[in-house]
Structure 1
Amino acid sequence: MKTTAAVVHEAGKPLEIEELDLGGPQEGEILVRYTHAGLCHSDLHVMDGEIPGWLPMVLGHEGAGVVEDVGPGVTRVAPGDRFVCSFIPNCGTCHWCATGQQAICDMGANTMRGFLPGEHWPLSGPAGRYGAMCMLGTFSQYGVIHQASAVKIDNDLPLDVAALVGCGVPTGWGSAVNAADVRAGQTVVVYGIGGIGINAVQGARFAGAKYVIAVDPTPFKREKALELGATHATGDADEARRLAVELTRGVGADKAIVTVGVTNSEVVDQAFNAIGKAGTVVLTSMGGGFHDRTIQLPAQVATLWKKTIKGSLFGDCNPTTDIPRLLGLYQSGDLKLDELITRTYTLEQVNQGYEDLVAGRNVRGLIVHKHD
C-alpha cells in the first residue's frame, strides 16, 4: 500500500513529504493507521544530526491511532483496537523487562536503526529502504510496527491527547515521580518547560511537592508552568537557586530535574548547586554528541554533601502499565493533557511545527493526519 510521510534525508535539511510504499505486517507486526503525532524535540535532534540514525528516516515517535491488521503471532492487539505508541518497545522477556525496567528493554537498542535486525524493512521509496524513528515513524499516515511498540487503550479515550502519553508525558511525569522520587513537602526545580518539563512540573505537584520552581527563558512557558502546578517560575537559574534556598530556610532544593532542549555542563552545574545536602539531580534531556563529556562537577562536594546525579529514560516508566495509568489520571482530572496542545498542524506543515518549537511558541505541537 501507499503512505505519505515526512522524511529526513540529510542532517540540517528540512523534512520532505514523500509518498512511500509500505509492506504488510509479518511475524509479530501490526499495520496501523496513525491519527495523531506529537512534535517532540528528539526528532529535531535527528534532523540536526545531534543523534545519528539510519537515513533516510521517517520521523515521529510520539503518536496514537488504530490497528488496521495484524501479522502472525500477534497477541497484544487486534484489528480495530486503539493504541498509543511506546517509543521504547517492551518485549517483556529480556533481563530488563523481567526486572521491571521496560524503559531500557533490549529491543530499544535498535530505535535509531529503524527496524529490528534480521527483520524486513516495511518502508521503501525512491531512495531505497527507509528507517522509522524509534521503529515507529509516526509522521506517516500508516506504519508497520512491532506489537511490542503498541499499548492498547480504551476506545472512549480521545486519540489526540492519548498520543502525548507515548513519550513526553510519561518521560516528564516519571522523571519527577519515579526517577526523582519526589515526596510530599519537598522542593523541586525543573529546568526547561517544554513537552517534557511541563509534565515534570505536573508530576512533582501531584507527588506532593510543596514548592515547584519552573525555569525557562520564555514567558509563555513560565505562564503555562504556573497554570499546571508550578508555585514559582523564573527565567534565571541563579534566581531559581536563590528561591530554593529562601523557601527552604537555607536547605536548598530536594530535587532538580533537567529537561532542557540540550544538556550542557552549565545547566548541570546550576542544578547541582540548587540542590542541598542529600539532594538529587535527574538528567532527562539529551546532551550533545553521544561521547561528549558534558558533566564536570566537584567530586568532594558530591561526596561530602551526599549529592546524587542520575540519568532517566522514559521517566523510568513501564509503558504497558504506566501509559494506561496516566490516561486514567487524565480521566480523573489529575493529569492535564488537553492544555498541553498548543497548536495543531497538517503533515505538510511539519517543518513549520518545528520552527514554532525552536522559537518557543509551543509546549506541544500536534500533527493531525488526514485520511481519505
Structure 2
Amino acid sequence: MSTAGKVIKCKAAVVWEVKKPFSIVEIEVAPPKAHEVRIKILASGVCRSDDHGLSGAMYVKFPVILGHEAAGVVESVGEGVTCVKPGDKVIPLFAPQCGECSTCKHPRGNLCKMGDLTASGLMHDGTSRFTYKGQQLHTFLGTSTFTEYTVVHESAVVKIDAAAPAEKVCLIGCGFSTGYGAAINSAKVEHGSTCAVFGLGGVGLSTVMGCKAAGATRIIGVDINKDKFPKAKEMGATECVNPLDFKKPINEVLYGLTDGEGVDYSFEVIGRTDTMTAALASCHMNYGTSVVVGVPPSASEITFSPLLIFTGRTWKGSIFGVFAVSWCFKVQGEEEEYKTMTFASSDCHIAK
C-alpha cells in the first residue's frame, strides 16, 4: 500500500531538553509539501555536532530530532520536485545547494542561504513535518536523520548510486566530506608538503586521507588518545604524537619535529579554541595555512596574538569541506535523465 500523501507513523530518537537522554518514541511524519522530499532512512552516522546539540554547546531548539549524516531511499516527493523520484537512493544534505543564491553562484561558496542558518529548527514555510501526540518537534540542520523517515527541501537531497552501501556512504553527508574536503579544497594541500592533523576521530581521519590523496610527504597526527594512532597510520599518517607526553606546548613540539620550520598545513578537527590557536602556531610563520574544521561551542570566544598572522600565516574555516555538491536536476530530452551527485575539485567517486 502506498504511503504517498499520507502521514507516516514511525520510530524516532527525540531529545526533549538540553542534556537529557534520547527517548525512542513513535512520531508522525507529515507528507512533503511543494519542493520537499520524504526519505526513508537506511543508515545514519553519529557526528560530534549531534553531541554538541545534545549538550547545549551548539544552539538548537527543543524538542528536537538530531542527526544529519545519512543515506536513504525517497519514499515520496512534493509538488514541483524533479531532481529525485520515489525509489531513488539519496543522501540528505545539511549544506543544501539551491543553485540560485549568491553563495551558490560564487566559485568558492558552499554555504547556501537555503540552509537553516538561524537554527530555527523548522522548514522554509515556518512549520515542522514532525509531531508527537500533536506536539511539534524541531528539525536539526534541516535533515534530522535519527528517525525512520524525514522530510527535507529538494535543495538538500542528492541522488547517489543505487548500489552504494548505505552504512558507508552516509558519512558523505558530513564526516568524510568535511575532513577530506578540508585538505583538498580548503587548504589545497600540495604534493610534498608537511601536515599536522589535530584530532583523530572520524573527521580527522578523513582529513588524513585527504592530505595523503593530495600527496603530502609527512602527515603528523595529534591526539591525546594513543589508541587512535594505529588507525591513523593505516589511513595515511606518517607519525603520531600525544601532547600529554611533552612538557612544552604542542606547537613547539611540532616545530622541533620539522627542524624549526613548522608544518605547511595544520588542521584543527576537535572544536576547542586552545587547540585552534595551537594548530595556527604550529604552521610555518610565513606561508603556513591552518584550517579550523571542528565545530566550536556556540558561546566560545578566542584570543590570540595578531603576530601569529601578521607574518603571513593563513587562518581559515571550512564547512562541509567546501564541497559544492551539484544541485540535482532533470534534463528534458528524448528521455528524462537524472543528474546525480558530483564533487567539485575532487577525485572522490564513492557516490557515482
Q: Same fold (TM over 0.5)?
A: yes
Query: 2:292 corresponds to which residue?
Result: 283
Q: For residue 202 of structure 2, give the secondary structure of its aligned residue in structure 1.
A: coil
**Contact map agreement 2:14 2:24 (CA 8 A) in 1:** yes
TM-fit CA distance, 1:6: 0.5
Q: Structure 2: which amino acid aligns with 1:107?
A: M
Of the three residues 243, 255, 264, the one matched with 1:245 is: 255
Q: Provide the TM-score with structure 2 as the length reference.
A: 0.87
Residues 71-106 of structure 1: CA distance to partner in whole angstroms, max 9, x if unpaired? 111011111110112111111101100113553100
Query: 1:255 corresponds to which residue?
Result: 265
Query: 2:330 corresponds to which residue?
Result: none
TM-fit CA distance, 1:239: 7.8
Q: Matched residues in 1 for 2:145 and 2:23: separation?
A: 14
Query: 2:319 corresponds to which residue?
Result: 313
1:22-101 aligned within 5 A: 22-101=29-108
Residues 119-168 of structure 1: CA distance to partner in whole angstroms, max 9, x if unpaired? 44210113711111111111000112111111101112111111010000
Q: Structure 2: which amino acid aligns with 1:251?
A: E
TM-fit CA distance, 1:301: 3.9
Structure 2: segments with no counterpart, 5+ residues: 1-7, 328-339
Change (3 A) 1:78 1:59: same
Runs of 4+ in structure 1 displaced over 6 angstroms? none
Q: Structure 2: which amino acid aligns with 1:149?
A: A
RMSD after superposition: 2.2
Indicate the structure (1 or 2) with the bigger Cα radius of gyration.
2
Q: Provide the TM-score with structure 1 as the length reference.
A: 0.82
Of the three residues 268, 276, 284, the one matched with 2:276 is: 268
Judging by fraction of residues, say which structure has more helix. 1
TM-fit CA distance, 1:118: 2.1
Q: Matched residues in 2 for 1:34 and 1:111: separation?
A: 25
TM-fit CA distance, 1:271: 1.1
Q: Structure 1: which amino acid aligns with 2:207?
A: A
Q: Matched residues in 2 for 1:120 and 1:190: separation?
A: 40
**Contact map agreement 1:60 1:139 (CA 8 A) in 2:** yes
Change (3 A) 1:148 1:101: farther
Structure 1: segments with no counterpart, 5+ residues: 333-372
1:1-372 aligned within 5 A: 1-101=8-108, 103-110=110-117, 112-126=119-133, 128-236=135-243, 241=251, 244-246=254-256, 248-260=258-270, 262-264=271-273, 266-276=274-284, 277-290=286-299, 292-294=300-302, 296-303=303-310, 305-320=311-326, 324-325=342-343, 328-330=348-350
Change (3 A) 1:245 1:218: same
Q: Matched residues in 2 for 1:197 and 1:20: separation?
A: 35
Q: For residue 135 of structure 1, give the secondary structure of its aligned residue in structure 2.
A: coil
**Contact map agreement 1:123 1:129 (CA 8 A) in 2:** yes
**Contact map agreement 1:165 1:323 (CA 8 A) in 2:** no
Give the count of matched residue pairs: 327
Change (3 A) 1:220 1:297: same
Q: Matched residues in 1 for 2:170 and 2:287: separation?
A: 36
